[in-house]
Amino acid sequence: MVNSFLNNKSISYYGYVTQVFLFVFFASADIALLTVMAYDRYVAICQPLHYATVMNRRACVQMAAGAWISGILNSAMFTGNTFALSFCGDNMVNHFFCEIPQLLKLTCSVSYLSETAAIAWSACLILCCFVLLIMSYVKIFKTVLRIPSEQGRCKAFSTCLPHLTVVSLFIFPGIIAYLKPTSSPVSVLDLMVAVLCSLVPPVMNPIIYSMRNKEIKAALGKLSAWRLFTKNEMSVFLP
């Protein structure tokens, strides 16, 4: 952000390492936390009478700590294996942030064994989280469809909808960004997908979750009504 304001396009080697570490760390922790949230909704909808026992304070702390620790371990291994490679030639990365696929284009190492192992480990972690997410929601939907009242079904679906939206915004752009072949030089499509993957989910998360908050809805309603009233007043008194 500082570089953007100062129009500075250079970054130090250790700054690049730090940015890659933090990017992978937060992405890994995010997918783990989304998986934990899916389990939370599974317990709340499928086992409501046991919710207070299963999702007690100790269990929540352990699951949150597990998500952050897995993120740190995954990021440390990924970053360490990436920067263990030898780099030579051009030191220009054609991107607006430190992305690993673009960094790998600068390496002159013959062997990608360590990097392949890191990618395989990350793929296994993401796949496990994705499978747990799918299993949780399959059981949730089976339970919701058995609810006799329409109001109860709508309430259950409204509880899951923000989480499903956030998961979709996080997973699908990431799949497109990292499974598609990288072009050289970087195309406009590559940059657009990178923006969609790295900036849109963090911006949309608070908006999506806040829309279920009654106080925020009321405040937005008052703000919209006040702006409409002010606009009508101006249209009445201005010639």
What HEC string does 23-91 produce? HHHHHHHHHHHHHHHHHHHHHHHHCHHHHHHHCCHHHHHHHHHHHHHHHHHHHHHHHHHHHCCCECCCC
Please report whether residue 209 resides in a domain: no
Q: What's the rounded Cα separation, in Å, for the pair 73 and 57?
A: 24
Side-chain half-sphere exposure of 135, counting CA atoms within 13 A:
10
* Residue ranges making up the domain that contains 194: 2-198
Q: Which residues of the chain have pLDDT under 50?
A: 234-239
Q: Produce one character per residue of 70-81: b if its CB has 16 or more CB atoms within 10 Å, e if not.
A: bbeebbebbbeb
Position 69 scores a pLDDT of: 92
- For the whole model, what pTM was predicted? 0.76
CA-to-CA distance for 49 and 71, rounded, in angstroms?
A: 32
Residue-level pLDDT at 89: 63
Asked, for residue 218, whether it belongs to a domain, the answer is no
Give the model's pLDDT for residue 170. Answer: 79
Q: What is the number of domains present in the chain?
A: 1
**Domain contains 52:** yes
Distance CA 35, CA 46 (A): 16
**Number of other CB atoms surrounding residue 145 within 10 Å:** 9
**Does residue 204 form part of some domain?**
no
Which residues share a beta bridge with 87?
Answer: 107
